[in-house]
Chain A
Amino acid sequence: MKRPGPLLTLLAGLVLGLFMLTLNVTSGTKTASSSYSEASQSPSPSPKKSAPASPTPTVTPSPTPSKSAVPNASYAGRTDDDTASVAVTIRDGKAVAYFCDGRYKEAWLRGPVADDGTMKLTAPNGAVLDGKLQQGKKIRGTVKDEGRKYAFTADKAVKPSGLWRATAKVRGAKIDGGWIVLPNGRQTGIVTRDGKVSAAPRIDPETGAVTVDGQQLTAQPVTP
């Protein structure tokens, strides 16, 4: 009789690993960055609905046990005057958005998304984003920041476009970087070093790798 213990240990690890993997794959549509699958399936069953009706039909085909009527996805685009980028990530009825001009203006906004797809997100610095999800395909809205109002359109963004953030300490300085990667590959980013704002170096959109002040950082996709 051979000792079964080690084999059981291995099997337990295998089962646990497969279990976690299944958990990841089945809850995958909840994560902002794995929105490919959603992009391909969700909008199709509601063809040619001319009225900007509720986005509810887009939810039905999605197998996610999401409690919210709004599908989990990311959106990214430019303001109408082309001075800044806006990206929004929706997950479980909550949204996080980043407004960034790539030079000195930025705002991280958060808030809930109503079942009809409208959202009002706010930032600690007072910026406000009002937006509405249109047929699950894009978000139209405005960002009010420092007394100015910017209209924007953000189209559905699939990985690696979307919203990225990296925080770190480099030689004692607190680094906070935010990036918006547009579907066409264009990047807008700002790095804040101990409160001082400047344009950010490009990130590798495949891995999130970026070098700030000689230090290799890894930006992560942002979720609410």
Chain B
Amino acid sequence: MSVMTYIGAIGAAQREAMQADPRVIIIGEDVEANVYGTTGESKQRAESGDFVQAFGKMRIRNTPISEEAMVGAAIGAAMTGLRPIVDLSYSSFLYMAMDQFVNQAAKNRYMFGGQSRIPVVFRSAMFYGLNTGAHHSDRPYSMFMTIPGLKILTPASAADAKGLMRSAVESDDPVLIFEAVPLWGQKEEVPDEEYRIPFGKARIRREGTDVTVVGISGSVPLALQAAETMAERGVSCEVIDPRTLVPLDSAAILESVKKTGRLVIAEPAHRTCGAAAEISALMAERAFPWLKAPIVRVTAANMQIPFSPVLERQMYPTRDKIADAIAKVAGH
């Protein structure tokens, strides 16, 4: 095992995928200079071992700032023999390519009767909580969950990010990975050997008996902290990270809710039609006989993100907000 940061794990997975398969390419803004640190050994430019030197400019390419063409070309390249990874940097930039995501990536295989394989990975980073203002702070993964045909990943730890990234590159369907930038620097032990994490398999981050807490993306570590706090108050929490939202491991959540009878869901996206909303609905449908208290969501408000740190810091789930929700459902 080696200790890796979340961002380092993404870079390591990209390197392994590039080495394993010559059909894998990386395109995106500023990938040649390793600006974000996932296409090189470190954030130093053009060091020995960086991706341009290792794989050449044919396979590592800076794109123009043209999200629609970049995403569309990656889809077309995937349909004709490559396995592209597209680095879109900020998640808010995905909207520029919405037609390509919705009308091409998600629909081509289906509407052409299964003729297409579209093995393409779209990486983007959710820079929330970092005072970047409304145009750079979005957490839009739940918008994309509503589009059948896309697979949606929200890794919350280094080991998960690495294993899910490898599976994403090997998937024959379009995969969108939403990285939580507040977690980029967080470290975890990562296996030294190559490994993949299958989609649709939740990770039980902490076992417990009183309350099920589903955390998503950057809310997973906060849910773990809240569980720790509540343990001191005598409430035993089971913390589950679905890791992939499409497909969703609803069975694992259902299993846990049957045991605890109580459910709190925390995520950094907006409340309306969020992942938490979808999980709430599923559990209301399937776990109703076991529920001992109403399901509670801890999400971002249906509000845009303000710039000032004083204003922004109240917008997302925190350890205390999640702990309060747990206390509420536990009757404390």
State yes or no: do A and B come from one complex: no
Binding site for B on A (CB under 8 A): none
